[in-house]
Structure 1
Amino acid sequence: MEATREDALAAGEADDQEALGELRLEWQGRLRRLLAAQPDVAVELRRLLDELEPSGSTAPSAKAIHQHATASGRARVYQAGRDQHNTQR
C-alpha cells in the first residue's frame, strides 16, 4: 500500500492520468479477488464505505449534477459534467 500511495501521489503531481488509471485497475482487481476469496469481508467493507459516505451511495453515477445556463445575443455557453476542451476562438 505504501508503494502504491507513493506512486499515486507522484502520478497526481505529474498529472499522469494513465498511471493513475493503471493503479486504480490494479487495486480494483485486488479487491475483487479478496472479496471472491473472503465474501464476509464485503460486509465490513460496506460498513466502512457507508461510514465514509453516509448517504450510502458511493457510485459516481448516483450523484446528481444539475446545470443551467442562459445565453443571449451572440454569447456561447459550454457546459460539461467533467473534462472539457474547447479550441474555438
Structure 2
Amino acid sequence: MAATAMVQGLTTSAWEQIRSAVGALWRRRHPEREETVLAELGEAREEVAEGRRRNDERSERAVLDEWENRLRRLLTADAGAATPLRELVELLTGPASTGGPSPSVVMNARASGHGRINQAAGDQHITER
C-alpha cells in the first residue's frame, strides 16, 4: 500500500511530503544511501509524469514494482519502518490529503413491529415526548 500511495502521489502536491518521508526512512536505516535514494525518487517522479503524459500505464507500473521491492527490503531489514510507512499511507490516502469529500457512510437498518431506528453519521440528538 505504501508504494502505491507514494507512486500515485509523486506528481501531486504531496511530492514534498513523500520526499521527506522517504528521506527519513532511509536516513534511519541507511544514512549513507539517503541522497542516492532521494535522487532515484526524483527520477521515479519524472518517469511517472512522462508516462502519464504519454498515457503509458506500464511505466507507472514499473516504478510501482521497483518501489514495492525497495520498501519490502527496507521492512525486512528494519521492521520499525512499518510505523512511519503506515503514517505516510494515512497521510497520502486520507480525505484531508486529497482535499476531497469525507468518505461516504452506508447504513442499513430494518425495524419490525413497533421498532424504531435512529441512524446518524455524526452527532444525533433525540428528544422523546
Pairwise same-fold verdict (TM > 0.5): yes
Residue 44 (str. 1) matches residue 93 (str. 2)? no
SS in 2 for 1:40: helix
> Equivalent residue for 1:9?
49
Partner of 2:72: 32
Distance 1:9 1:54, change over 3 A: closer
Cα deviation, residue 29, structure 1: 0.5
% of aligned pairs identical?
A: 30
Q: What are the ranges of 5 or more consecutive residues in structure 1 without an aligned counterpart? A: 56-62, 65-89
Code of the residue aligned with 1:7 in structure 2: it is E
Gaps (5+ residues) in structure 2? 1-40, 96-102, 105-129
* Alignment RMSD (CA, Å): 2.1
Q: Provide the C-alpha distance between the structure 2 equivalents of 1:33 and 1:21, rounded to a whole number of angstroms.
A: 18
Distance 2:57 2:93 in 1: 25
Q: Residue type of the partner of 2:75?
A: L
| 1:54 Cα offset (Å) | 4.1
Residue 20 of structure 1: how far off its partner (Å) = 1.2
Residue type at the aligned position of 1:26? E
Matches of 2:51 and 2:76, distance apart in 1: 29
Q: Deviations over 1:51-85 (max 9, x none)?
A: 33348xxxxxxx99xxxxxxxxxxxxxxxxxxxxx
Count residues in correspondence: 57
Which position in structure 1 is the counterpart of 2:63? 23
Q: Paired residue for 2:8? A: none
Highest CA radius of gyration, 1 or 2?
Answer: 2
| C-alpha displacement of 1:45 | 1.2
What is the alpha-carbon distance in structure 2 between the residues aligned to residue 4 and residue 53 of structure 1?
20
After TM superposition, the score normalised by the length of structure 1 is 0.55
Structure with bigger RCO (C-alpha 8 Å, 6+ apart): 2
